[in-house]
């Protein structure tokens, strides 16, 4: 491609025609700039998603003038000249959108609207079909070029922000989380106690401070919402708080025992949810599976995606093993789930012990493990898989003083062959595993080429 | 806006004209679909950024047919009918792009190219300027509509991936990092020892395994690259490894002392960088400033951006205090930096002790702290700031048995007034602080309305 990506019209159109089209665009935008900005506002102020971003008066004023400036900049800039200043301005706009969290697709919608509005006006003043088409193509390429630059910086800055947000969330979670749980249980108790004392001491004269406005309520909205992002349990707590504040508190009365009982019940519910909340977070945030110490499957895309990029760029190879314990269901059925768990943890320990520090072992499913072998080609991966199969078959898993459990495993092997989608590699290993199962178990089968 | 966002042409154009334009588009795309796909490939296979995504044969074949299908789908879909199937297909495409890490702006560039190619062909066959314009506007709105849906799902999935990647990275860093450092020091030593033994024992006959291929090399490429993303120190280590493998190793000889010395020097350099790497990571990853235990400034956008969203959505207010110790430079100059540090840590402890569990105290600059007060309006924020000022002025900071240090601070206060940009709020507090300094220090000044 040329140095002016996307401005392909520049190469395929006679210069005189382009100069004329630029003239037409410049004239129309200059003449109609207020109408264009006005149309933009009339559409987006009633737009379900867009209106929230335009509500504040400062934004309104600023955007009005910056949209005007952007339109004039667009037609004044010579696409055949030095674009570095224009580029820098588009990049800056994308950064501002990222900071204000204005979704990129919304900006794109605005761009389409402006293109259509200008295009309509071009056709109204010009009877020459070819000239109209040239002008509309030029307009489209210019606006799209600007939008691409905005998108690039928007995506860069947004991903950077998301990364920092997640780091902050995990940092906050990493602080003493048990202390936090107890502190908040205490804050909750303190509030209900103050309500009760208020009722008894002051003869129910003053309305107590609401639960939402208490330190516990503040914590729920500002800290818990950060720590337990989007947890349904958190929403239950918020719902209960509103119930307490709106339904119970106004009518609570020390002379009406049922109102006190109702409050107590709600408090117990909140406490119960609070415990659940911390418990659920402990499970989700685990990087490893507590039973097997293998990596949590949710990190598989992170690892495989990275490793595929490395394998694509360099000469190094990449293989994946899918390991599944044979007849696991019958182990569970015959000996019970605790023996099944023992088999799982011994298998995982064997795998973790076997691989290098640069490899990755994931708990993929119930009795299924996925191993990522970095810088490992087909032949080597098959050798490693076969050794793992033998090692597992040789295990004596002690169940009691006199009883050992024997297990075998089937293994599917797939080697990266250039397809950039990690799901493709996982599926290949999965199909090979299926084939190993089907052909009799306790064996290693290699994925056939796609 | 209507239910068909972006298809504004539908509202402003007579139906007969639209039907005709759809007919023109359908005919041209059907007739030229191979030429369009061919053009797309000829451009993107030589595209500096795009070509890497089209190199693999499977992708090539698949994309060829899916681009074909997408073009036909685009012109066959009735924009006035049920779009749910079409929408779902665009969303799916965006998800695939996200998984394959194909930058969205690159897809947009391809879209612009296709629009221009189709537009050119529309103009060649049609002398009616208004009809050409209608057709080109319709084409633009259809393609842009598809691109918006792709962008939305691309951004959603990409941010989710980045979030998980960061969680995985921090999880990996959270594992025993001191153990990791020592293990890798040992792996490095082990490699150089094996080189030396090889030289002495086997009379320099066999070439030793390269440092890059050793366990240490694997660790650098696959684990360190994850843990210390983009660290320049890591790049120095990689460069040294290449030097060792390509320049030193082939000519190393036990009879040539200088070659042994050169290896030793390089090993010392790698060790030195390895220490630095872990040290630098420890500093960067800290959520809090080690001296003051205030939050690291890099989390400020995460906190303020969230709190502004909450304040925008609900009735609750939000204020920010910028606190700066007065004449801090002269404290440092008079008593030395260690006393300056003592003043800082006492100030921070006072602030941290003063605020609620739902508030946030950041180390903003050298002697500057930023406090985020959630659900706190203007009057309350001024009261809190004044109390903080008094509390700091009353501090006796013990320097020795007989000597106490007295400090004062200036405080700028700003309250959220609806502007969605957190930098706007910070700047307001900063200007107020500047005003407090200018008008004599040891005072609280409120930001004036914008």
Cβ-proximal residues to B113 (8 Å cutoff; 6+ apart), any chain: A6, A8, B39, B40, B43
CA separation for the pair B348, B362 (Å, rounded):
9
* Eight-state DSSP code of residue B253: -
Within a 10 A sphere around the Cβ of B204, how many other Cβ atoms? 15
Of the candidates A424, A436, A439, A327, the one whose C-alpha atom is nearest the C-alpha of residue A386 is A436
Classify A359 as helix, strand or coil: coil
Chain A CB contacts of B145 below 8 Å: 112
Q: Is B108 on the interface with A (CB under 8 A)?
A: yes
Q: In the predicted model, what is the mean pLDDT of residues A106-118?
A: 94
- The reply to whether residue B358 touches residue A219, judged by beta carbons under 8 angstroms, is yes
Q: Does B203 touch chain A (CB under 8 A)?
A: no
What average pLDDT does chain A have? 89
B321 exposure class (CB count in 10 Å sphere: 0-12, 13-18, 19+) = buried
Q: What is the CATH T-level fold of the domain B177-285, as seen in this structure?
A: 1.20.120
Region A51-72 average pLDDT: 79
The string of pLDDT tens digits covering residues A291-324 is: 898 998 989 998 998 899 889 887 789 999 999 9
Is the CB of residue B423 less than 8 Å away from at least one CB of chain A? yes
Q: Which residues of B touch A172 (CB under 8 A)?
A: 287
Residue B16 is predicted with a pLDDT of 85
- Judge whether residue A405 has pLDDT over 70: yes
Query: What is the rounded average pLDDT of the residues A7-29?
Result: 84
pLDDT < 50: residue spans in chain B: 1-3, 5, 450
Angstrom distance (rounded) from CA A330 to CA A308: 37
Question: What pLDDT, on the 0 to 100 scale, is given for residue A225?
Answer: 84
B170 touches chain A (CB under 8 A): yes
What's the CA gap between A169 and A177, in Å, rounded? 12
CATH number for domain A9-167, candidates 1.10.490.10, 2.60.120.560, 3.20.20.70, 3.30.300.30:
1.10.490.10
Q: How confident is the model at residue A88 (pLDDT cuts 50, 70, 90)?
A: very high
SS3 of A302-345: HHHHHHHHHHHHCCCCEEEEEEEECCHHHHHHHHCHHHHHHHHH
Beta-carbon count within 10 A of B352 CB = 17
Most confident of the ranges A206-220, A271-285, A425-439? A425-439
Binning pLDDT at 50, 70 and 90, where does residue A80 land? confident
Nearest to B233 by CA among B262, B270, B263, B267: B270
CA dist A357 and B213 (Å) reads 14
Angle, vertex CA B444, rays to CA B440 and CA B446, nearest 5: 115
Contact A141 B58 (CB under 8 A): no
Residue A266 C-alpha, separation from nearest chain B C-alpha, in angstroms: 23
CB A187 within 8 A of CB B329: no
Q: What angle do CA A220, A224, A228 make, to 5 degrees?
A: 140
Give chain B positions within 8 Å (CB) of A380.
Answer: none
CA distance between the termini of chain B = 32
CA gap B135, B13 in Å, rounded: 11
Q: Which of B1, B76, B30, B161 is nearest to A48 (CA)?
A: B1
Residue-wise DSSP of B32-86: HHHHHHHHHHHHHTT-TTTHHHH-SHHHHHHHHHHHHHHHHHHHHS-TTS--HHH
CA dihedral for B288, B293, B297, B299, sign (positive or negative): positive
Cα separations in angstroms, A265 against A240, A248, A258, A260, A261: 11, 11, 10, 9, 6
Does residue A443 surpass a pLDDT of 70? yes
Pairing relationship of beta strands A409-415 and A444-446 according to DSSP bridges: parallel
Cα–Cα distance measured from residue A416 to residue A308, given in angstroms and rounded to the nearest whole number? 8
- Asked whether residue A450 carries a pLDDT value surpassing 60, the answer given is no
Which helix (H) or strand (E) segment is A433 a member of? helix A422-438
Q: In whole angstroms, give the CA distance from residue B438 to residue B185.
A: 54
Task: Indicate if the pLDDT at residue A180 is higher than 50.
Answer: yes
**Range A70-88 average pLDDT:** 91
Option in A119, A375, A420 nearest B136 (CB): A119
The single residue listed with the structure tokens 């911390």 is A278
- Structure tokens of A95? 């950064």
- Specify the range with the lowest mean pLDDT, choosing from A57-61, A396-400, B15-19: A57-61
Please judge whether B133 and A122 are an interchain contact, meaning their C-beta atoms are less than 8 angstroms apart. yes
Superfamily name and number for B9-168: Globins (1.10.490.10)
- pLDDT over 90 for what percent of chain A? 56
A-chain residues near B103 (CB < 8 A):
152, 155
Close Cβ partners of A357 (under 8 Å, ≥ 6 residues apart): B183, B215, B218, B219, B223
The domain ranges of chain B are 9-168, 177-285, 297-446
Task: Say yes or no for a CB contact (<8 Å) between A129 and B134.
Answer: no
| A46 vs B: CB within 8 A | yes
Lookup result for tokens 């600023």: A62
Cα gap A29→A11, rounded to integer Å:
24
- Residue B5 pLDDT: 45
What's phi and psi for A417, nearest 5 deg? -125, 15
How close, in Å, is residue A396 to chain B by CA atoms? 30
pLDDT at A3 over 50: no
pLDDT at B2: 38
With a CB-CB cutoff of 8 Å, which residues 62-101 of chain A face chain B? 96, 99-101
pLDDT the model gives residue B388? 97
End-to-end CA distance of chain A: 32
Q: How many CB atoms lie within 10 A of CB B151?
A: 28
Interchain pair B152, A59: CB under 8 A: no
Sign of CA dihedral B250, B252, B254, B255: positive
- The residues that bridge with B412 in the sheet, in sequence order, are B322, B445
**Tokens for A179?**
């202390």
Q: What is the pLDDT of residue A288?
A: 84
Alpha-carbon distance values, B379 to A124, B220, B375, B413, B449 (Å): 58, 55, 12, 10, 14
Strands (E), A244-317: none
pLDDT tens-digit readout, A222-273: 888 888 887 899 999 999 999 999 999 888 888 888 888 898 899 999 999 9
Instruction: Search chain B and give the residue with CA nearest A170.
Output: B167
Tell me what pLDDT residue A10 has.
Answer: 64
User: Is B112 in contact with A1 (Cβ distance < 8 A)?
Assistant: no
CA neighbours within 13 Å on the CB side: how many for B143? 29
Q: Do domains A9-167 and A297-446 have the same CATH topology?
A: no
> Is A297-446 assigned to CATH 3.20.20.330?
no
Interface membership of B155 toward A (CB under 8 Å)? yes
Q: Which of B245, B420, B427, B450 to mutate to test the interface with A (most CBs of A within 10 A)?
A: B420
Separation CA A373–CA A362 (nearest Å): 12
- Mean of the pLDDT values across residues A202-223? 80
Q: Cα–Cα distance between B369 and B362 in angstroms, integer?
A: 6
Strands (E), B211-359: 318-325
Phi, psi (5° rounding) for residue A346? -65, -40
Selecting from A103, A105, A287 the residue whose C-beta is nearest the C-beta of B171 gives: A287
């Amino acid at each position: 491609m040329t140095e002016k990506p996307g401005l392909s019209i520049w190469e395929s159109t006679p210069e005189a025609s382009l100069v004329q089209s630029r003239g037409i665009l410049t004239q129309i935008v200059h003449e109609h700039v207020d109408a264009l900005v006005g149309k933009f506002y009339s559409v987006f102020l009633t737009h379900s998603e867009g209106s929230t971003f335009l509500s504040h008066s400062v934004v309104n004023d600023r955007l009005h003038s910056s949209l005007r400036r952007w339109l004039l900049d667009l037609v004044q800039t010579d696409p055949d000249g030095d674009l570095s200043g224009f580029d820098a301005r588009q990049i800056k706009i994308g950064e501002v959108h990222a900071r204000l969290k204005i979704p990129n697709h919304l900006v794109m919608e605005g761009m389409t609207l402006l293109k259509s509005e200008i295009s309509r006006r071009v056709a109204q003043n010009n009877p020459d079909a070819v000239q109209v088409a040239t002008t509309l193509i030029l307009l489209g390429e210019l606006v799209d070029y600007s939008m691409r630059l905005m998108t690039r910086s928007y995506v860069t800055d947004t991903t950077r922000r998301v990364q920092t947000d997640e780091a902050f969330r995990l940092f906050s979670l990493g602080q003493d989380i048990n202390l936090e749980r107890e502190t908040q249980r205490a804050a909750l108790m303190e509030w209900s106690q103050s309500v009760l004392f208020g009722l008894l001491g002051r003869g129910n004269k003053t309305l107590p401070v609401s639960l939402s406005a208490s330190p516990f309520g503040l914590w729920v909205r500002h800290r818990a919402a950060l720590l337990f992002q989007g947890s349904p349990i958190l929403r239950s707590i918020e719902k209960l708080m509103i119930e307490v504040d709106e339904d119970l508190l106004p009518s609570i009365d020390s002379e009406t025992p049922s109102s006190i009982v109702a409050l107590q019940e709600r408090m117990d519910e909140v406490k119960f949810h609070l415990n659940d909340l911390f418990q659920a977070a402990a499970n989700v945030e685990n990087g490893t599976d507590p039973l097997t110490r293998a990596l949590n499957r949710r990190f598989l895309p992170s690892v495989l995606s990275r490793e595929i990029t490395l394998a694509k760029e360099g000469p190094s190879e990449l293989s994946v093993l899918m390991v599944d314990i044979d007849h696991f269901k019958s182990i569970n059925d015959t000996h019970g789930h605790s023996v099944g768990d023992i088999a799982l943890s011994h298998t995982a320990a064997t795998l973790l012990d076997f691989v290098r520090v640069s490899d990755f072992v994931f708990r993929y499913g119930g009795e299924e493990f996925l191993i990522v072998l970095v810088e490992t080609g087909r032949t080597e991966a098959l050798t490693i898989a076969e050794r793992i199969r033998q090692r597992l078959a040789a295990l004596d898993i002690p169940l009691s003083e006199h009883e050992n459990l024997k297990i075998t495993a089937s293994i599917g092997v797939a080697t990266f062959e250039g397809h950039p989608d990690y799901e493709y590699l996982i599926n290949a290993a999965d199909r090979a595993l299926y084939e190993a199962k089907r052909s009799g178990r306790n064996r290693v089968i290699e994925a056939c080429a796609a």
